[in-house]
Structure 1
Amino acid sequence: MPVRPCRGIVRRLNGQTICFTGRVLVDDEWRVRTHCAERARQEGATPKTDFSQKATLVIYGDLASKVVTDDSRTYSSTLVNAEAERRRGRHVCVVDGDGFSKLLRGRPAPCLELRRARTGRVRPVAAATTEAHILGGPLRVRRTGRRSSADLTLDLNRLDEATAVHEATVGALIAHLSRQGIEACTYSSGAPEFDAGWSRGEDIFVAEVKSLTGAREDQQIRLGIGQILDYAHQLRSAHPSTVIHPVLVLEKRPSAARWTALAEGVGLRLTWAPGFSGI
């Protein structure tokens, strides 16, 4: 079987070499190829007018939900060529207008299967994946800042400080995974709202990030353990054939060594910045 480097999900337009089958329905409005190509170029993609062996992504529009036959028309032969490349072992991703709309918004899109009949017809088919139901788009560090005490009745500086530390830990985790060639993701729609997720092979890791600043350490760790074990239980119930690894990420080493033994006892990975040992 051909290798599927996308694992059923197209995560971004950046770096893709793409071609279009025709007009594309983008956010409920039909757009011509030149418009779509310019939008894709702004997101870091390289649009091509025709399919070639350099193509990594095909976006099909006015052929959506129709059977595509192998004839002389360029727009209808594109999917046939993509399917032929897959048969040769080079996976070319295919998304529809809805998938293209998601990619333009920075969200992942499902890669469609291509099925060929004996008559030579090629049919695009949606193929749901477990990862697509759990991991969302790329994880980003949120901006943080101190509130003006003049605008508040309560002093929330300590809360702001804890939030800043939390986001700094998230940023350090993203960088740590990136150095291993792994992309940190947010949660997908309908999945539990974990702080970070990523995949290694077929296994999926979901993490809760906890700062220890401005709060009792034991309270924060207990809260984090409960949250991430709950998220893992929900995901295992929904996807029993998928290996889910819960991870609790702390801003720094906890002062009490007992937390490491407790984490091991409940099947939880405990790690902390800046080294993130074990992940």
Structure 2
Amino acid sequence: MDVKPCDGWVHTLSEQTLCFTGKVLMDGEWVIRKDCEEMIQQFGANSKPDFSRKITVVVHGDLASQLVTDSHREYSKKLVLAAREREQGHHVCVVDGNGFVDLIDGNPAPCRELQRAQGADDGVFVLARSGDGILGGPLHRRKVGQHGTGALSLDLDHLDRGTRAHEATIAALIEHLAYQQVEVRGHARNAPRFDAGWSRADDIFIAEVKSLTGASEDQQIRLGIGQVLDYTHQLQLGRTDIRVCPVLALEKRPTEPRWTSLTEANGILLTWAPVFAGC
């Protein structure tokens, strides 16, 4: 397989050669290595028990943000070797249990950053990413099809225009944030289905995007406010380690200025294309 530079994501299991550090924590349940090895075969991947230069992905069974220090234990040794390979210019991707499940489900998984522990040749940090459990893989503009003609052609035409406007607004938001070197991502596998998300330092932004074409403007904005408040509430429940910032991104400036004060009063950033002020 041709080795491509890592862009921070493992996009597929196909043609990968995996090495497992042991059992893998998959959505709260430990799965033994043998069962994991059987899972990946149907996706065109294979595995090897020992680390070598043929390995393209190491699956770290525990969660991220853990310090691995005991080089005599098998899982530690493999991560230390992966870190050494990276230092020598041969990038080996590392995913955790959540990332492994993402790949099994056909979604990209974040390639984990490794960091040497200060003063320890055999110590490696497996680092978390901002937005873990909330932000999923990179978000791309979807292609929107055109409905055929028929008795419902008028309604479907309105739906198409609204959908195209929705996707165009998402594309504009992606471009706007990419200019600032901020990657827009979808929702994580088990997170609420918000339209777009990104992080800045420790702050996580989740956005609901609403088109105003061919629809009741008031209805669309009310719906967006309710959705993004609900998503934020779900994500903050029982968590004090993150700050989730709700965003309502519109296709264009709303006709009535009252929406700005209403959203501000509820802690929502209201913004719209093409400038996306505040984002």
TM-score (norm 2): 0.67
Per the alignment, residue 28 of structure 1 pairs with: 40
Measured at CA, do residues 86 and 156 of structure 1 come closer, stay the same or move farther in structure 2, by a change above 3 Å? closer
Aligned-residue offset at 1:202 = 1.0
CA distance in 1, matches of 2:237, 2:73: 43
Query: SS at the partner of 1:197?
Result: strand
Q: Is the CA contact 1:208–1:224 (under 8 Å) kept in the aligned structure 2?
A: yes
Query: RMSD over aligned Cα, in angstroms?
Result: 4.5
Residue number in structure 1 paired with 2:112: 111
Counterpart amino acid of residue 112 in structure 2: C
Give the stretch that moved more between structures: 207-216 or 148-157. Answer: 148-157
- Give the aligned partner of residue 183 of structure 1: 183
Contact preservation (8 Å) 2:205, 2:247: yes
Q: Structure 1 unaligned segments of length 5 or more: list them.
A: 1-5, 34-47, 52-57
Residues 69 and 13 (structure 1), Cα distance of their counterparts in 2 relative to 1, 3 Å cut: farther
Contact 1:69 1:122 in 2 (8 A): no
Which one-letter code corresponds to 1:181 in the other structure?
Answer: Q
Offset at residue 94 of structure 1 (A): 2.4
- Tell me if the contact between 1:100 and 1:109 (Cα under 8 Å) persists in the aligned partners: no
Using the TM superposition, give the Cα deviation of residue 267 of structure 1 relative to its aligned residue in structure 2, in angstroms: 0.7
Question: What displacement does 1:77 show?
Answer: 6.0
Share of identical aligned residues, percent?
Answer: 45
The 5 Å alignment of 1:139-150 reads 139-150=139-150
> Separation in 2 of the partners of 1:229 and 1:60?
38
Gaps of 5+ in 2: 1-5, 21-35, 63-69
Query: Is the Cα contact below 8 Å between 1:26 and 1:97 reproduced in 2?
Result: no
Contact 1:228–1:246 under 8 Å retained in 2: yes
Q: In structure 2, what is the Cα distance between the partners aligned to 1:20 and 1:122?
A: 22
**Of 49, 52, 68, the match for 2:53:** 49
- CA apart distance, 1:250: 0.2
CA contact (8 A) 1:70 1:80 kept: no
1:233 and 2:233 aligned: yes
Q: Distance in 2 between matches of 1:21 and 1:190?
A: 25
**What's the CA shift for 1:108?**
1.8
Task: Name the count of aligned residue pairs.
Answer: 238
* Closer, same or farther: CA 231–158 of 1 in aligned 2, 3 Å: same
Where 2:213 maps in the other structure, the secondary structure is: coil
Aligned CA distance change for structure 1 residues 121 and 151 (closer, same or farther; 3 Å) = farther
Contact 1:210–1:220 (CA under 8 A) maintained in structure 2: yes
Matches within 5 A, 1:83-232: 94-95=94-95, 99=99, 102=102, 105-109=106-110, 111=112, 131-150=131-150, 152=152, 155-232=155-232
Seen in structure 2, the aligned counterparts of structure 1 residues 97 and 32 have a Cα distance that, compared at 3 Å, is farther
Once the two structures are overlaid, the 10-residue window that deviates more, 223-232 or 141-150, is 141-150
Note the C-alpha offset of 1:204: 0.3
Give me the TM-score of the superposition, normalised by structure 1. 0.67
Q: Which amino acid aligns with 1:111?
A: R
